[in-house]
A and B are shown apart, each in its own frame.
Chain A
Amino acid sequence: KAGVTQTPRYLIKTRGQQVTLSCSPISGHRSVSWYQQTPGQGLQFLFEYFSETQRNKGNFPGRFSGRQFSNSRSEMNVSTLELGDSALYLCASSSAGTGFSPLHFGNGTRLTVT
């Protein structure tokens, strides 16, 4: 079974630009979550999508948005990039059936904003 795939692996953007990151979950997984990892801050929750609907949201500004498609693939968009947006962005999927299901992470997209 293929794991969670994130593209691209690395991205360099300039302040003010926008960026779109992509995530393909494990086959059969209907929930996709996005996290931002910065040094010393751990993994900060951005949002979670389940069946094309945003089910949970973290405390990030509206510049951060996402969506999920009918095949469960998800995209994350950041508009008007700031230097502080430089981070590793991680996507995770889970089966989200009855009972708790752990998250399975991709290897992330490293975003550098200059």
Chain B
Amino acid sequence: DQQVKQNSPSLSVQEGRISILNCDYTNSMFDYFLWYKKYPAEGPTFLISISSIKDKNEDGRFTVFLNKSAKHLSLHIVPSQPGDSAVYFCAASETSYDKVIFGPGTSLSVIP
């Protein structure tokens, strides 16, 4: 049972435009949500997080939106840059000491 879903395996966006990556979850007990970025031959790197008490968190070009009623979150990247081309993983955890569950990832390609 996949508790964290990323239904788009890949996404292509023109440089300078907005990239929107989506994530759905099934476990209503999740309290923390995170996004990670992964380049080939490297481990995932933490990008941005949001707790369930918020509906938006912003860090520079990256903004995460959380819709708890829909069990949906999204990552917006504005403006998109070629260096943003990577696999993006959505992840969630019930508590600060619980395991972190990852989605299958979305491969983003930003075209110059």
Contact = CB atoms under 8 A, between A and B. Distances in A.
Interface residues of A, number: 28
A100 B32 contact: yes
Contacts, number: 56
Given A43-B91, A100-B51, A107-B42, 5 more contacts: A50-B97, A58-B99, A100-B93, A105-B43, A107-B43
A59 to B, nearest CB: 10
Interface stretch (B59-67, B78-86, B101-109): B101-109
Interface of A: 4, 33, 35, 40-45, 48, 50, 55-56, 58, 90, 92, 96, 98-108
A41 B93 contact: no
B96 A90 contact: no
B46 A103 contact: yes
7 contacts: A4-B43, A43-B89, A101-B96, A105-B43, A105-B44, A106-B43, A107-B42
